[in-house]
Structure 1
Amino acid sequence: MKFKNNALQQAIKFALATTTAGLFVSGSVVAAEQAAEETKVNKNVEKIAVVGTRSAPRSIGDSPVPIDIIGGEELDKGGNTDMLELLKGSVPSFNVHQNPISDAASLVRPANLRGLPSDSTLVLVNGKRRHRASVIAFLGGGINDGAQGADISVIPSIALKQVEVLRDGAAAQYGSDAIAGVMNFVLKDASEGGSFEIRQGEYYEGDGDTTQISGNVGLPFTDSGFANLSFQYKTADATSRSVQRPDAAALDAAGVPEVSSLAQVWGAPEVDDDITIFGNIGLELSNSSEFYMFGNYSERDVRGGFYYRNPHTRPGVYSNDGGETLLVGDLTGDMSGNCPTDIMIDDNVLDNQRYIDEVANNPDCFAFNEMLPGGFTPNFGGNITDTALTIGTKGEITSGFLEGAYYDLSGTVGYNESRYFIYDTINASLGPESPRDFSPGKYSQLEKNFNADLSKGFDFGLAYDVNVAGGLEWHEETFTVVSGDEASFTAGPLTEQGFGIGSNGFPGFKPSDAGEYTRRNYAAYVDVEAPFTEDFLMGLALRYEDYDSFGSTTNYKLTGQYHVTEDLNIRGSISTGFRAPTVGQANVSNVQTNLSSGVLVDSALLPPTNPIAVQLGGTELQPEESQSYTFGAVWTLGDLFFTIDYYNIQVDDRISQSDKIELSQADKDTLEAAGVPNVQNLAQVSFFTNDFDTTTQGIDAVANYSTDLLGGSSTFSLAYNWNDTEVTKSSPITGEFKVSRLENDLPNHRATLSWAQQWESFSAFTRVNYYGEYQGVHVDYDATAKTADAAVTIDAEVTYFLTEELSFSVGATNLFDQEAEKLDFFDSTGIPNNNWGGKYYETSPYGINGGFYYVKATYTF
């Protein structure tokens, strides 16, 4: 079923706009002190969080650190099928971009919590560390350049009971990566019932058709356990928000054949056969112990656009002097073909008589204009596989000196693999024998984690027992590079004549690039929470971590909460943290295509210890170090629940990809001697480095209110985030434009306002999203940057409950089709901004695709 009927589209928009007129807010956080009787909308939302404490789970209102809880049913009303987009709509300090034409960052999109990169947020599932993705975001839009975080998108909302978002540094409790905070995805654990859902939607532009089929079922696992299983299958067509490139239009007008009507596409990639399966199993072994096991298998194919290769100017393929003369290859093997090297390129080189006589009609000479006269546009894609398994046991010790203590022993194995493909391109050095499709190789990330945790309450004569927890953790991560097919990296017979080596746009990994890189670390921690009085709680966490690469680190966290009155309490924390460089960041090398000052060039990413990187300022990577503090208050007045928290995060020696550094001829000669392929066609290099410090500060405010209204029950939610990042120290290695992107690409102000309304047979949900000003950037090119205007989008969903089991919904995200900031035809320097076919700045925080509408049917049993 696909929406191709404009009347249907307009009817859906009108129905949603009419039904939800006047409804406001973003149900991002469920009030901790909400009444026990929940509406049908929120009936399964728990108000108790496990994350952030080693003591017994507590309500978010009694937590000394700020925690958001997002219920699974609330996520289901988000209108999107991607977990990243669902979280963006629910947590204002969470941002994610669509990243068109961004190499592997288009396959696994990096996200930002509180303005920090994706690998500064620790991801847990059922409280256990989630492995990171194998994808390193080489083109990560400035903030995420070089980030290697977990792939959150594989987690389906139908598998979740709730998501707990700890908005506080927690490295002293959980280890590396928890600088910005922690996200804990809690899987459903029901032993009966379930649901099935079919959803179909598309963008108002008529593209991006998305189909999703998902289900969840709870089963008994003997008489004393449960087996809760979930699945999701999804396909999504690509989108395009592009115009024809001016150079392609000029070629077509000059009579050049086979020029694509849309030479370069900016939009969401095609996602095919996106399937994920999650399982969560628990079994009571005795009255004091239980066994648990959970895991997933996920796989998807993704294919997106790339930069257009102009048939007159593309270096290493058509011309090596900027389009003045044609690059012609001699196919004889002994250079006896007397092939011309001085054919001038005009509006249509195919009309040049010398080209016709001396190249096209000469079997000994070859130019790619014969094979691809209109140029070509590679498509970049990949197969992403993700799987994990956790097995453990937990319970209470019933005898001995540890009687009354709680234990948790577990082991986790997680694996993520990204096998890359590039289509409709060439290995120019192979000449007319070049294939058009290549498999450049793959990356994989394997992580193993083992934990032993103990927790016990001791009576020291305080208001309640003092909880003392301790534990040990062992962690191993392995990053593997597997070489590509031979045609993707081989140096063909035309190499010495100036033709580029390897699959153009993404050369394959050579056998010499392949390798397996492993690092191990272990940790020990202690965590104490002491209720000095009924109104005053303090906590202290210490963690020692030792890595076999760079050494050890010790971190602490001090928290406190004081109940000023029964309805008002204040809370705060101060902590240190760290983020270890990933094994991939320390060892990976790669060649990528990017725009530099408006020119398409090849750029090599080198390991930081490579001689050229060292010569340009690279050093062995060290961990980032952070210091953070928060201070806030929680206020409850009847059915109104309100929190406000200020945070400040200082990160020293941040790890990121350096600015692209121009290569001198001497640098190229050194690289060539070291075996780097295609060196003479490389224009730039970059590497990972600990080069800059930042200070990020902000305010989170959350308000929730429930009441009876309009003959039904209503829940209102307001969430606001102000976030500001300042680069306090940097060098030319980082570059001025990267500093600007770190400070300005994300909006300083985000807010959501929602209204969830429930009647006996109908429910309605409306969310208003506010995005403040941000830096609009196109093609990662500083001359295109500008301050984009603030904007408001509205999401809405209406549901009709036909029976207790069957319901039908219609909804839309960006209901009124708020456009992203459009590109100025010319920037302030007179350079055309749409030379590359874009219509919008791709840093738009609400995306460039516009409104999306959908229908769904849900069967609950």
Structure 2
Amino acid sequence: MKTKVSTLSRSIHALLSATATFSLVATSMAHAQSETPDNGANDVEKIAIVGTRSAPRSVGESAVPLDIIGGDEFTAQGATDIDKMMSASVPSFNVNDQSINDASSLVRPANLRGLASDQTLILVNGKRKNRSAVITFLGGSLSDGAQGPDISTIPSIALKQIEVLRDGAAAQYGSDAIAGVINFALKDDSDGGTFEARYGSFYEGDGDTVQYSGNVGLPLTKDGFANLSFEYREADPTSRSIQRPDAAAIAAAGNTDVPNPAQIWGNPEIKYDYKMLLNTGLDLGNDKQAYMWTTWSEREAEGGFYYRNPHTRGGVYSNDDGETLLVGDLTPNDGIGCPTVAITDNRPDQAALAQLQADPNCFSFYEMWPGGFTPKFGGTVFDASIVLGTKGEMSNGVHYDLSASLARSEVEFAIKNTVNPSMGPDSPTEFSPGQYNQIEKNLNLDLSYPIEVEGLSDPVNLAGGLEWRRETFEIQPGDPASFEVGPLAYDPMTGTSQGFGIGSNGFPGFKPEDAGSWSRSNIAAYVDVEAFLSDEFMIGAAARYEDFTDFGSTFNGKLSARYQMTESLALRGAVSTGFRAPTVGQSNVRNVSTAFNAGRLQDQATLPPTHPISVQKGGTQLQPEESVNYSIGLVGEFESGLYLTIDYFNIKVTDRISQTSSLTLTQADIDALLALGQRDATSFTSIRYFTNDFDTVTQGVDIVLNYSMEMLGGDTKFSFAGNYTDTQVQDVGPDGTVGNIGANKVMMLEDNLPDTRFSLTANHTNGDWRILARVNYYGDYFEDHVDDGTPEARIYPGAETTVDVEVAYNFTDELSLIVGAQNAFDNRPDDNPLADWVGSAYPTTSPMGMGGGFYYVRGVYSF
């Protein structure tokens, strides 16, 4: 059986997300129930290491919003995508489908509290996870140009719990922690294990998914553990497309070579996805431990791209908008010209076409692909890391944690079913456009010491530490055919061009002159103090200094407090400053991709902000984003088992980093590029670069509610996770633009994510049976369809609700069978009012996904 994994991932994502919500609820509820055993629950209180340098804390004791999702609860869902699994668990965590979205289809950006994917810090066992080499050039505006970690490289079965700190924490952890921190805590069992098999498919009959995973705990001598996890996944692509009207018109005119649908909108195919993780620890005696974990993952994905119309695609088929075919003279110096082939009523002149085909010295791509063509874009994503360290308590009472890490991420791009037009009939149809690499090295020393202070019942915890980090971004060139300037684009004898495009069409390869390696180092020092001024009142303060070799230094601070007003109610709040350093990749990357602009496909070049053409268009060296974060909330833990948190947050980010909107190149700009040796400049119509171009204010409210009770002869846990988030771009002009950010992009930043999102989950257990039901609500949102940037591309889809269900039965203590459905009633987003434009049946950035209903079955064996 051939497997199919793309669409499935998304649907499962919704279900897993909801289950994750339940997990969060149940976890939070565990704390409340630990003090109320009479309610029939057997939950164990969970504690987290994020958000404090003191002793680990439970959810309710934290001075800032903190969610803890148990590993078993997290995986008790149909989804296989960690991003999707978290979406329902964390009120303000969102992830969109990324169909036909360049490298975003390989590593999807996820957003916490309405901010970009690289504005959330990701930790594994409390240590910083490396960035992905993928830069999301097309990230739905909100994450355009973001370069964040790829959390999907972690096998979900390896997780003990997930800790989500929804508050600014740059003063504690450094760059990127503007929106918050997510820590993935790994399993550390020295015995037992779990094996699991999953299969699922969409109601529509596509997107079949198969996944196998396992976790085994082994002893490492009598004083340690070695916990090994693995995962393998495959998935078929999905399609939620209709035939494009231009393709339909050509087919109606008698062209039988036009594919139907000509362009696929849906999840990419996951050809394979391997993940392995080994977590080890060893007790050294005398309150000292050694630890090490290593990860390895590799996956290959392939998705669709934009259709190349055989009459109008510039640089390939026609350069006069479909009046005549673009014909190349293979012997331009023989004095014999080529015929002109006019196009009338969607049909080339047949007599002229026959003359063209009979002349071996003349060529048109209409001869190779008379129905047009649609490139297939994808790549292989590799990620590996190792962390080693030791921690413990010294004889003087100082706790220490010394660690070192090395990580590497690679993305090797691939594109096929396309051509390098400038090479004419000699062009291959498959290319390797090149590779991005991200290499990171870290050294960390963390120290803490409890100080007894007269008059205080608890010691004051004093912590501090040092960090050194080095990041390297590399570009490796593609195969020569992917960037070659062929004779139909540039004739060295005459210095003229016949107007054919250069490089693998859709994603030209990286040229040797664009390749290179760029590095940056930084050092950091921090201090962190926490104290209980009374049994009810706790305060904390943190400060951090960092110095970067490329842009200088930054200093950030944080104050937090928690006050237990009554036995059941506590007030908490924090204020902090933060920052996110521009990545080395954002400062140096070069890329050419095909995207829409003003209703037409264009080859858009992304250049470094310090490139002469970028400077001419206003580019300057990138500076760090800076933020001020306020939060205040109420925590309620009641004897009935009810657990409730309500938190307001306000995050102002100045000098936000993003890509500019498309900036049209003038002939003078192109001439300047040619003078600099950019021989493919004649293929560019516009450029983009990274810029600190605007400020935003994001504010909202998170609500988490958990409650459990006995009913119907069993135990039922109810959970609610809701979020309201509003983002406003500052200093927008009368025309709706700010700086080099266009009006549509401003609207996407503000409204592409729904303002309101919530999930309500009920999980009932009765003997060997478990039944889960979840309602997911997504508010209305705005979409700039295919990032076109024009008023005509604006879509305003309405709110949607989906329902997930799952039934589990334990045949024995070891063997369980689970069946379920995400989006059980097969709800779809609003029909796309622009579907006739490029063939997407639904809005492509729908927060609920485009796939519809998805059913699945899981078999779990534990020992």
Quickly name the TM-score band, shorter chain normalised.
over 0.9
Task: Give the secondary structure class of the aligned counterpart of 2:843.
Answer: coil
Any residues of structure 2 matched to 1:251-650 within 5 Å, and which?
A: 251-332=250-331, 334-340=333-339, 342-357=340-355, 359-398=356-395, 403-461=396-454, 462-495=456-489, 496-638=497-639, 639-650=641-652
Q: Answer yes or no: is the 8 Å Cα contact 1:24–1:755 preserved in 2.
A: no
Cα distance change on mapping 1:40 and 1:451 into 2, 3 Å: farther
Q: Secondary structure at the match of 1:844?
A: coil
What's the CA shift for 1:98?
Answer: 0.9
Equivalent of residue 763 in structure 1, options 758, 770, 783: 770
Deviates more, 1:541-550 or 1:560-569: 560-569
With normalisation by structure 1, the TM-score equals 0.94
Poorly superposed stretches of 4+, deviation over 6 Å = 1-4, 37-45
Matched, 1:791 2:793: no
Equivalent residues of 2:20, 2:87 under 8 A apart? no
The aligned residue for residue 241 of structure 1 is: 240
Q: Aligned letter for 1:836? A: V
The whole-number CA distance in structure 1 between the counterparts of 2:400 and 2:41 is: 32
In 1, the alpha carbon distance for the partners of 2:357 and 2:231 equals: 53
1:251 is paired with a residue whose SS is: helix
> Does the 8 Å contact 2:88/2:721 carry over to 1?
no
Cα-to-partner distance string for 1:456-491 (whole Å, 9 max, x where unaligned) = 100012120000000000000000000000000011
Q: Is 1:34 matched up with 2:32? A: yes
Give distance in 2, aligned partners of 1:269 and 1:289.
47
Matches within 5 A, 1:17-416: 26-29=22-25, 30-31=27-28, 33-36=31-34, 47-332=46-331, 334-340=333-339, 342-357=340-355, 359-398=356-395, 403-416=396-409
Q: Distance in 2 between matches of 1:2 and 1:209?
A: 8
Give the distance between the partners of 2:222 and 2:156, measured in 1 at CA: 28
1:350, distance to aligned residue in structure 2 (A) = 4.5
Q: Which amino acid aligns with 1:790?
A: A
Of 70-79 and 554-563, the range deviating more from structure 2? 70-79
One-letter identity of the residue aligned with 2:442: N
Q: Secondary structure at the match of 2:88?
A: helix
Moved more, 739-748 or 69-78: 69-78
- Cα 1:66/1:673, change in 2 over 3 Å: same
Structure 2 residue corresponding to 1:712, chosen from 702, 711, 714: 714
For structure 2, the 5+ residue unaligned runs are: 490-496, 733-737
Match of 2:723 in 1: 721
Letter matched to residue 659 of structure 2? Q
User: 1:830 is matched with which residue?
Assistant: none
AA aligned opposite 1:371:
M
Paired position in structure 1 for 2:492: none
Between the aligned partners of 1:337 and 1:451, the Cα distance in structure 2 is 71
Cα deviation, residue 27, structure 1: 4.0
Which one-letter code corresponds to 1:565 in the other structure?
T
Contact 2:3/2:235, CA 8 A, preserved across alignment: no
Identity %: 55
3-state SS of 2:142 partner: coil
RMSD (Å), alpha carbons: 2.0
* Between 510-519 and 25-34, the greater mean CA deviation after superposition: 25-34
User: What are the Cα deviations for residues 564-622 of structure 1, in whole angstroms up to 9, with x where unaligned?
Assistant: 11111101000000000000000011111011121111111111011111111111000
The partner residue of 2:663 within 639, 651, 661 is 661
Deviation at 1:41, TM superposition (A): 13
Equivalents in 2 of 1:24, 1:295: separation in Å? 25
Question: 1:549 corresponds to which letter in structure 2?
Answer: D
Q: Secondary structure at the match of 2:248?
A: helix
**1: CA distance, partners of 2:42 / 2:331:** 76
Within the candidate set 809, 819, 842, 1:800 is matched to 809
What is the total number of aligned residue pairs between the two structures?
833
Counterpart-to-counterpart distance in 2, 1:88 and 1:821: 21
User: Which letter does structure 1 place at the counterpart of 2:585?
Assistant: G
Compute the TM-score of the two structures, normalised by the length of structure 2: 0.94
Q: Distance in 2 between matches of 1:71 and 1:797?
A: 18
CA-CA distance at 1:163 after TM superposition: 0.4
Distance in 2 (alpha carbons) for counterparts of 1:38 and 1:143: 45
Judge conservation of contact 1:535–1:564 (CA < 8 Å) in 2: yes
Residues of 1 paired with 2:192 and 2:41: CA distance?
A: 17
**1:46: Cα distance to partner?**
5.3
Instruction: Classify the secondary structure of the residue corresponding to 2:793.
Output: strand
Residue identity opposite 1:444 in structure 2: N
For residues 270-305 of structure 1, the C-alpha deviation after alignment (integer angstroms, 9 at most, x for no partner) is: 001101001110000113100000121000000000
State the 1:550 CA deviation. 0.4
In structure 2, the partner of 1:20 is none
Matches within 5 A, 1:740-751: 740-751=747-758
Give the counterpart letter for 1:490 in structure 2: E
Asked if the contact 1:821–1:844 (Cα under 8 Å) also holds between the matched residues in 2, the reply is no
Aligned to 2:493: none
Displacement of 1:167 in angstroms is: 0.2
SS of structure 2 residue aligned to 1:116? coil
Deviation of the 1:333 alpha carbon: 5.2
CA–CA separation in structure 1 for the residues paired with 2:848 and 2:42: 29
1:822 aligned partner = 831
- Aligned with 2:469: secondary structure? strand
- The superposition leaves residues 240-298 of structure 1 with CA deviations (integer Å, 9 ceiling, x where unpaired) of 00011111111111122421121100000000110100111000011310000012100
Counterpart in the other structure of 1:829? none
- Give unmatched runs, 5+ long, in structure 1: 18-22, 826-832
Q: Is the 8 A contact 1:27 1:754 kept in 2?
A: no
How far apart, in 2, do the equivalents of 1:75 and 1:26 lie?
8
| Residue identity matched to 2:31 | E
Q: 1:689 to 1:193 in 2, by over 3 A?
A: same
Structure 1 Cα separation of the partners of residues 41 and 424 of structure 2: 62
Provide the C-alpha distance between the structure 2 equivalents of 1:39 and 1:299, rounded to a whole number of angstroms: 48
Residues in 1 aligned to 2:517 and 2:40: alpha-carbon distance in whole angstroms: 49
* Paired residue type of 1:701: I
Letter in 2 for 1:615: Q
2-side partners of 1:135 and 1:352: how far apart? 46
Measure the CA separation in 1 of the matches of 2:606 and 2:784. Answer: 22
- In structure 1, C-alpha distance between the alignment counterparts of 2:630 and 2:499, rounded to whole Å: 56
The answer to whether 1:844 aligns with 2:851 is no
- Separation (CA, whole Å) in 2 of partners of 1:391 and 1:121: 24
Q: Given that residues 265 and 304 in structure 2 are in contact (C-alpha distance below 8 angstroms), is that contact kept between their aligned partners in structure 1?
A: yes
Q: Compute the displacement of 1:787 (Å).
A: 2.0
1:397-438 Cα distance to aligned partner (Å, 9 max, x none): 02xxxx111100000111110000001000011100100000
Deviation at 1:343, TM superposition (A): 2.7
Residue 62 of structure 1 aligns to a residue whose secondary structure is coil
Q: Deviations over 1:78-130 (max 9, x none)?
A: 32111111011211201111110001000000110000000000000000000
- Which residue pairs with 1:670 in the alignment? 672
Partner of 2:653: 651
SS of the aligned residue for 1:104 comes to helix
CA contact (8 A) 1:34 1:706 kept: no
Q: Give the 3-state SS of the residue equivalent to 2:503 in structure 1.
A: coil
Separation in 1, partners of 2:596, 2:438: 29
Deviation at 1:676, TM superposition (A): 2.5
Q: In structure 1, the residue corresponding to 2:849 is in which secondary structure? A: coil
Q: 3-state DSSP class of the match of 1:788?
A: coil
Distance in 2 (CA, whole Å) between partners of 1:419 and 1:260 is 28
Please report how far the alpha carbon of residue 239 of structure 1 lies from its aligned counterpart in structure 2 after TM superposition.
0.4
In 2, Cα distance between equivalents of 1:513 and 1:611:
14
Q: Distance in 1 between matches of 2:260 and 2:287?
A: 68
